[in-house]
């Protein structure tokens, strides 16, 4: 690619180098020196990182950040010697035991040193050669992604950026800019139009509280010790072994060893299912509603024929909308779930035979699943969110909750129904330790408009237009505010990988080429950076004073600085400060304390559950500590000294199964529903929910007339039906006969780590194909496959699988797009290059039920990703 002057010598690490981590680090450090910068490392105690010297190695262990949105939160310790990381280890602060487990890291964490010291780090401010401030022709926008780069000074970078920001701001005001989630400096400097998206929690993002669930359905599954009391744990669309590394898998293994039987409902017999020896219910992506409705039908049938399946007492007392006798007072439609399932309204009972052509699950498996959900079993229905990141999945939250309620699986030991997500998966309950706040000032974006993220690109390309503003910020929807936006001329990228992780990437690239100015903070030549004009080198967390994060209810991690900033990299706060100064504004409006002070505030404000049952200060801080750190604060009494807290890498609350800190979700509500109402209008679980439906209907998005205020089967705007001509299941197949989905993949945390040579070698990032599908298409293992969708084309090498449902194609999430400008084909297999902007219902980003075709590629075969050169831009 023209944009890179590529130096491959330091990058293609062999397997032997991978095995010898320290050698490989030396290689990266050498590459940095060649770049005019040898990393220097700060190990002085007075810098806040109290480190235990290891005399044997002559190095120093530091608790180092692993800061990504990876689903885990683990201890990651590095030994720093002569400016390089020479060893790495995980939690060894105490002996490991099932009740007091170490917070062990994953392989990505071990490759973290290549994030900080990687040969491809961006170390200097860079400018795209063809860009000049002033807009229009000066921007030379079509060259974004193709142009060459030049190193410029910080002074020049800030001066150019501020000139352009002022110009755009003066002419167009706050709506002249776009940033998915602006930071304090952007809010103060100019403001911007924001993008909202349904990312992690899919359709649970819309009003979970309105149906009586906690926000995004997180927090009402039980404490880890209670997993052992279940007879069955259903892992619905859930693969914590991949997507929640750290302790969750360990807790599930303990349940397995205690005799709990596992069931997985998933198009893939995933790694968690394999490890837990789960029974597999293979459901086609985006068709869970059909499967769930048939399960409800079978529960009702079995209950009538055999009894003891449906917990009528639970339904009647704690829910509304299941049947005609228990409707919520605000219902505008006299319909209910039970009558819909029985076919009262449409003459179609939602039997397993009705569901099978849609969801692909054999009827006998539906019956078996219905029995497991029966009221006399101790069953936990734990879900992740893959099945709601689908078009048409709007009513899944209500349906899944209805199934849990039909079996009465809430509020009792051994029973649960709720989200099992990220680092808290398998372990919910009030926090026993908690990180303090950094106490940064609050800033306000002068523009309140949030636009559905994938729509923004079309809006930019159209030079502005009408939008319906429906979401204030992540997770909070409101009645639509029709808004007219003018042209967007500037794009900022801060801490999101927006151009890579949002739908409609092809239009996104064009939109980036259409504006006057794109300013990106980056550590590497990421996709955002590649299509920018000015890149400001930002530090990694390893180059900052440190921070405290709440990892799970039992553990807070405290990490410290590993090295001085590499090259000319600066922290986000330093960059924000320079920009504000460049704009002639007071940086104090955005940042009123030092980063060191913020770190200290987090430590001082950290809390632990005390003997009294109240949260109390966690860390003991002396007057000497305060003067050594050079910060402002008051001495306080806690249970661990500041030096130990920093050196150990935080604090873990030691648990036992009878410590009184167990937690059963919904226990208070089930014990006394009047005294402890849920957040819904009726205070109960709303299987029929007028409020959530009315809010969604007010958006007026496509296909809304198909929906009801209770769960029904809806044909999605794009989904399985679209794999047939005329959307008729069973008819002739369409041009795109397969369903594509995006597993969150081991190599990466979203887009992060995709450039890491060790991880590229470890995880190949293939396209997942069913073996028979591949055979039918003449595709063999390792062949280069062309994946075609209505939105774009991408290449990946084939991995053939017997554990993937036929008709399903897995394109792992987050690969850095690499468009061949001649063919328009993306060589990297970026998920979002293959997805457009179609949406309906609530506007969910339907990552997991897109349509595609696959073929053996007749062009040049792809090399393995680990043999691709890194994106190294030389000065
Ligand atoms: N097709 C498809 N798209 C998806 C998904 C899917 O399943 N399929 N999943 C969605 C989900 S669930 C999510 S949560 C989103 C995630 O979307 P993003 O949050 O956009 O993804 P990340 O790759 O984590 O982006 C973080 C970026 O911040 C940069 N960064 C790291 N540290 C710093 C720092 O200190 N300062 C600055 N300025 N930058 C830093 C990283 O290099 C990276 O570019 O993606 C969504 N997109
Ligand atoms: N390694 C790694 N871990 C991560 C991340 C990452 O990027 N990489 N991202 C983190 C973030 S922010 C998030 S939001 C989480 C996401 O975490 P998850 O939601 O757990 O991740 P996914 O892999 O998208 O989906 C989980 C399972 O759902 C299945 N599935 C997909 N679609 C459907 C469907 O329509 N129906 C059913 N029944 N099953 C389906 C998939 O096959 C998969 O086994 O992961 C977190 N952890
Ligand atoms: S799970 Fe996440 S936090 Fe833990 S070591 Fe892996 S990448 Fe780091
Ligand atoms: Mo996410």
- Per residue in 624-669, pLDDT (tens digit) is 999 999 999 999 999 999 999 999 999 999 999 999 999 999 999 9
Q: For residue 240, which ligand has an atom nearest its CA?
A: 2
The C-alpha atoms of residue 524 and residue 871 are separated, in whole angstroms, by 8
Average pLDDT of span 600-612 = 97
Query: What pLDDT shows up at residue 45?
Result: 36
Measuring from atom 35 of ligand 1, which residue has the nearest CA?
540
**Inside any domain, residue 35:** yes
In this prediction, residue 472 carries a pLDDT of 80
Q: Could you tell me what percent of the chain has a pLDDT over 90? A: 91
pLDDT in tens, 756-779: 999 999 999 999 999 999 999 999
Q: From the CA of 539, which ligand is nearest?
A: 1
Mean pLDDT of 479-507: 97
- Nearest ligand atom owner, CA of 847: 1
Which of 65, 104, 107, 109 for mutating ligand 3's site (highest number of atoms within 8 Å of CB)? 109
Most distant pair of Cα atoms in the chain: their distance: 79
Out of 275, 279, 286, 384, give the residue to mutate to test ligand 2, the one with the largest number of ligand atoms within 8 Å of its CB: 384
110 lines ligand 3 (CB under 6 A): no
Point out the domain boundary residue: 88, 120, 152.
Answer: 120
Domain boundary among 537, 554, 575: 537
| Spatial separation of the C-alpha atoms in residues 562 and 61, rounded to whole Å | 9
- Reading the block at residue 481, the tokens are 């505010």
pLDDT mean across residues, the chain:
93
Return d(Cα 670, Cα 677) in angstroms, integer. Answer: 9
Question: How many CB atoms lie under 10 A from the CB of residue 547?
Answer: 19
What average pLDDT score do residues 463-486 get? Answer: 90
Domain region containing 727? 720-867
Collapsed DSSP state (helix, strand, coil) of residue 221: coil
* 19 and 75 inside one domain: yes
> Looking at the structure, do residues 785 and 850 belong to the same domain, yes or no?
yes
Nearest bound ligand to the CA of residue 576: 1
Within a domain: 103? yes
Same domain, 136 and 112: no
- Ligand 2: which residue has its CA nearest to atom 31? 386
Residue 582's pLDDT is: 98
In a domain, 832, yes or no: yes
Counted residue by residue, the chain has a size of 875
pLDDT attached to residue 57: 60
Q: Do 221 and 307 sit in the same domain of this protein? A: yes
**Within-domain flag for 734:** yes
Q: With 60 as the cut, is the pLDDT of residue 9 above it?
A: no
Last residue of a domain, one of 518, 537, 556: 537
Are 39 and 152 part of one and the same domain?
no
Cα distance between residue 514 and residue 140, in whole Å: 9
Residues 245, 341 within the same domain: yes
| Nearest-angstrom CA–CA distance, 826 and 812 | 14
CA of 124 to the centre of ligand 4 (A): 30
> For residue range 688-741, what is the model confidence (pLDDT) as tens digits?
999 999 999 999 999 999 999 999 999 999 999 999 999 999 999 999 999 999
Are 700 and 726 part of one and the same domain? no
Residues 349 and 319 in one domain: yes
Pairing of strands 319-320, 279-281: unpaired
pLDDT score of 82: 84
In this prediction, residue 21 carries a pLDDT of 30
pLDDT in tens, 249-297: 999 999 999 999 999 999 999 999 999 999 999 999 999 999 999 999 9
Using one digit for the tens of pLDDT, what is the confidence trace for 224-235?
A: 999 999 999 999
CA neighbours closer than 13 Å in the CB half-sphere of residue 375 = 18
Complete DSSP assignment for 89-102: E---SS---SSS--
Residue 748 placed within a domain: yes
Alpha-carbon 651 to chain mean position: 25
Q: Is any atom of ligand 3 closer than 6 Å to the C-beta of 719?
A: no
* pLDDT value at residue 58: 80
Nearest-atom index, ligand 3, CA of 76: 5
Q: Ligand 1, from 528, 750, 816: best to mutate by most atoms within 8 Å of Cβ?
A: 750
Distance 623 CA to ligand 2 centre (A): 47
Report the CATH number at residue 854.
2.40.40.20
Ligand 3 atom nearest to 107, measured from its CA: 6
pLDDT band at 46 (very low <50, low <70, confident <90, very high): very low
In a domain, 592, yes or no: no
Q: Is residue 582 part of a domain?
A: no
Closest-lying ligand to the alpha carbon of 493? 1
Whether the full predicted model's pTM is greater than 0.75, yes or no, is yes
Closest ligand 2 atom to residue 814 Cα is 7
65 plus 183 within the same structural domain: no
**Cα(422) to centroid of ligand 3, in Å?**
11
Instruction: Say yes or no: CB of residue 70 within 6 Å of ligand 3.
Output: yes
Convert the pLDDT of each residue in 528-587 to its tens digit.
999 999 999 999 999 999 999 999 999 999 999 999 999 999 999 999 999 999 999 999
Best of 75, 90, 91, 106 to mutate for ligand 3, by most ligand atoms within 8 A of CB? 106
Are residues 258 and 195 located together in one domain of the fold? no
* pLDDT band at residue 474 using 50, 70 and 90 as cut-offs: low
Are 338 and 456 members of one domain?
no
Please say if the pLDDT value at position 41 is more than 70: no
pLDDT of residue 22: 30
Query: For 406, what's the count of Cα atoms within 13 Å in the CB-facing half-sphere?
Result: 33
Nearest CA to ligand 2 atom 8: 749
* Ligand 3 atom closest to residue 245's alpha carbon, by position in its atom list: 1
pLDDT reading at 443 higher than 80: yes
Q: How many domains does the chain have?
A: 4
Whole-number pLDDT of residue 376: 98
* 506 and 458 within one domain: yes
- Alpha-helical segments (H) within 537-630: 572-582, 595-604, 623-629
CATH of the domain at 519: 3.40.50.740
Residue 653 lies in a domain: no
Q: Which of 546, 751, 830 has most ligand 1 atoms within 8 Å of its beta carbon, as the pocket-test mutant?
A: 751
Give the residue from 95, 249, 134 showing the smallest Cα distance to 489: 134
């Amino acid at each position: 690619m023209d944009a890179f002057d590529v130096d491959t010598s330091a990058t293609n690490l062999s397997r032997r180098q991978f095995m010898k981590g320290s050698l490989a680090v030396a290689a990266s450090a050498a590459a940095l020196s060649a770049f005019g910068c040898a990393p220097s490392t700060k190990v002085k105690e007075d810098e806040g990182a109290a480190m235990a010297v290891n005399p044997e190695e002559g190095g120093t262990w530091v608790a180092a950040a692993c800061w990504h949105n990876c689903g885990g939160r683990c201890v990651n310790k590095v030994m720093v010697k002569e400016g390089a990381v020479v060893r790495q280890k995980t939690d060894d602060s105490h002996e490991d035991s099932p009740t007091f487990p170490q917070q062990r890291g994953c392989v990505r964490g071990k490759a973290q040193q290549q994030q900080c010291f990687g040969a491809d780090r961006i170390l200097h401010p860079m400018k795209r050669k063809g860009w000049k401030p002033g807009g229009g022709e000066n921007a030379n926008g079509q060259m974004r992604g193709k142009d060459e780069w030049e190193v410029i000074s910080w002074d020049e970078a800030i001066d150019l950026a501020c000139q352009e920001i002022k110009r755009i701001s003066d002419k167009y005001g706050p709506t002249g800019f776009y940033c998915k989630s602006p930071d304090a400096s952007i809010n103060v400097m100019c403001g911007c139009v924001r993008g909202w998206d349904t990312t992690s929690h899919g359709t649970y993002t819309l009003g979970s509280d309105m149906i009586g669930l906690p926000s995004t359905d997180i927090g009402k599954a039980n404490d880890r010790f209670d997993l052992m009391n279940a007879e069955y744990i259903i892992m619905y669309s859930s693969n914590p072994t991949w997507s929640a590394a750290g302790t969750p898998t360990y807790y599930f293994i303990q349940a397995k060893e205690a005799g709990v039987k596992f069931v997985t409902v998933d198009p893939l017999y995933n790694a968690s299912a394999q490890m837990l020896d789960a029974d597999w219910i293979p459901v086609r992506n985006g068709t869970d509603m059909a499967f769930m409705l048939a399960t409800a039908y079978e529960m009702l049938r079995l209950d009538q024929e055999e009894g003891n399946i449906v917990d009528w007492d639970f339904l009647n007392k704690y829910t509304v909308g299941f049947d005609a006798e228990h409707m919520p007072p605000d219902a505008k439609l006299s319909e209910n779930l039970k009558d819909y399932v029985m076919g009262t309204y449409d003459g179609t009972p939602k039997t397993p035979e009705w569901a099978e052509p849609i969801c692909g699950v054999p009827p006998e498996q539906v019956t078996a699943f219905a029995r497991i959900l029966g009221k006399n079993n101790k069953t936990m229905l734990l879900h992740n969110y893959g099945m709601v990141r689908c078009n048409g999945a709007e009513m899944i939250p209500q349906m899944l909750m209805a199934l849990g309620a039909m079996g009465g699986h809430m509020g009792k030991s051994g029973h649960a129904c709720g989200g099992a997500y990220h680092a808290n998966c398998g372990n919910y309950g009030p926090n026993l330790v908690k990180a303090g706040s950094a106490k940064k000032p609050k800033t306000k974006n002068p523009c309140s408009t949030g636009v559905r993220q994938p729509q923004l690109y079309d809006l930019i390309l159209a030079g502005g237009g009408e939008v319906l503003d429906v979401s204030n910020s992540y997770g909070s929807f409101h009645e639509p505010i029709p808004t007219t936006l003018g042209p967007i001329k500037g794009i900022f990228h801060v801490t999101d990988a927006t151009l890579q992780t949002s739908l409609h990437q092809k239009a996104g690239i064009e939109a980036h080429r259409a504006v006057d100015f794109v300013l990106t903070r980056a550590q590497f030549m990421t996709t955002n950076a590649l299509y920018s004009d000015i890149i400001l080198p930002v530090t990694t967390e390893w180059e900052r004073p440190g921070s405290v994060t709440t990892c799970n209810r039992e553990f807070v991690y405290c990490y410290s600085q590993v090295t001085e900033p590499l090259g000319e990299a600066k922290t986000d706060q330093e960059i924000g400060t320079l920009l504000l100064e460049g704009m002639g504004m007071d940086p104090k409006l955005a940042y009123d304390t030092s980063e060191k002070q913020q770190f200290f505030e987090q430590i001082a404000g950290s809390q632990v559950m005390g003997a009294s049952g109240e949260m109390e200060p966690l860390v003991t801080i002396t007057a000497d500590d305060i003067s050594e750190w050079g910060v402002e604060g008051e001495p306080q009494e806690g249970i661990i000294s500041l030096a130990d807290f920093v050196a150990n890498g935080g604090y873990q609350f030691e648990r036992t199964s009878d410590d009184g800190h167990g937690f059963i979700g919904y226990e208070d509500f089930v014990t006394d529903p009047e005294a402890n109402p849920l957040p819904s209008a009726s205070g109960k679980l709303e299987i029929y929910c007028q409020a959530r439906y009315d809010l969604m209907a007010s958006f007026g998005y496509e296909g809304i007339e198909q929906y009801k205020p209770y769960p029904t089967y809806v044909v999605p705007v794009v989904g399985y039906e679209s794999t047939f001509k005329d959307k008729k299941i069973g008819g002739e197949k369409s041009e795109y006969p397969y369903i594509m989905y995006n597993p969150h993949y081991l190599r990466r945390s979203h887009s992060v780590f995709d450039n890491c040579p060790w991880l590229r070698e470890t995880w190949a990032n293939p396209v997942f194909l069913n073996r028979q599908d591949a055979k039918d298409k003449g595709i063999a293992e390792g062949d280069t496959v062309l994946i075609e969708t209505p939105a774009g084309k991408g290449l990946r090498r084939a991995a053939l699988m017997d554990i993937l449902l036929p008709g399903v194609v897995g394109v792992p999430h987050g690969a850095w797009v690499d468009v061949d400008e001649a063919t328009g084909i993306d060589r990297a297999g970026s998920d979002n290059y293959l997805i457009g902007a179609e949406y309906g219902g609530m506007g969910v980003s339907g990552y997991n039920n897109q349509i595609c075709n696959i073929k053996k590629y007749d062009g040049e075969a792809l090399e393995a990703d680990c043999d691709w050169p890194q994106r190294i831009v030389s000065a």
